[in-house]
Chains A and B, each alone.
Chain A
């Protein structure tokens, strides 16, 4: 299992955890601990993957066949920024700090965007995991 596969699996788990929170599923001691640990992993891995993209410039050096275009890199950059944000949000919800209507809306928006990108851009066929929550 590559580090990319592990990141993908942990991100999916974090999505399920956050969706469960939005549906008011109870968070016990063990779930809380699992969410916090998973958030840390997703946060640091997203940070690493985001920094690997490097500066995004409008040159054509990256737009050769087989290489990601500037637009794709830009989308990827924001995807990892959103997964970092999700990790921050998930940690806050596990610690009982994610309160308020606008914060819940922000969490929902972020989850929607991440799932949209996972489904359409990363061509993940198995989206059944989203039905778990």
Chain B
């Protein structure tokens, strides 16, 4: 994972699992001291990106409704190649394909506080 520093970072979390999504939002909001957007489908996130412009980092589940994590990653990277996209899945077999598709990192679900601190350390701080 490449080290970058993003001031006033804009992050979105996309997952239909409310328990995991809210937890990730709380951790990230605390770490970056900014509001963090959340969406329950890939389509809603993509619609937001189209309407409001880019986000610095998107963290998406692979099996999300509307637009899968892979499809969202492909569209997002095509439009904003310099921005970061992190994919998450409970299936570790998805890791190689996530990396091959251009994901900047892969998180195994269920995510832990430490995983998220590492994400912030790598991509934000």
Binding site for B on A (CB under 8 A): 50, 56, 74-75, 77-78, 81-82, 84-85, 88-89, 99-103, 105-107, 109-110, 113
Contact = CB atoms under 8 A, between A and B. Distances in A.
Interface string B91-116: 00000000000000000001011000
B113 A81 contact: yes
Given A81-B112, A84-B113, A102-B34, A113 B22 contact: yes
Contacts of B27: 85, 106
B23 A81 contact: yes
A82 B30 contact: no
Given A78-B110, A85-B27, A110-B26, A103 B19 contact: no
Given A75-B19, A78-B19, A78-B20, A85 B110 contact: no
Given A100-B33, A106-B26, A109-B26, 4 more contacts: A50-B112, A102-B32, A109-B29, A113-B23
B35 interface: yes
B26 A103 contact: no
Nearest to A100: B33
B110 A106 contact: no
A78 B33 contact: no
Given A74-B110, A78-B110, A113 B29 contact: no
Interface residues of B, number: 16
Contact of A77 (B32, B35, B110): B110
Task: List 10 tightest A-B contacts by C-beta distance, closest first.
Answer: A106-B30, A100-B33, A106-B29, A102-B33, A84-B113, A103-B33, A109-B26, A85-B113, A102-B29, A106-B26
A9 B67 CA distance: 44
B29 A103 contact: yes
A68 to B, nearest CB: 15
Contacts of B33: 99-103
A102 B20 CA distance: 19
Nearest to A81: B113
A109 B28 CA distance: 12
A88 B29 contact: no
17 contacts: A77-B110, A78-B19, A78-B110, A81-B23, A81-B113, A82-B26, A84-B113, A99-B33, A101-B33, A102-B30, A102-B32, A103-B29, A103-B30, A106-B26, A106-B27, A109-B22, A113-B22
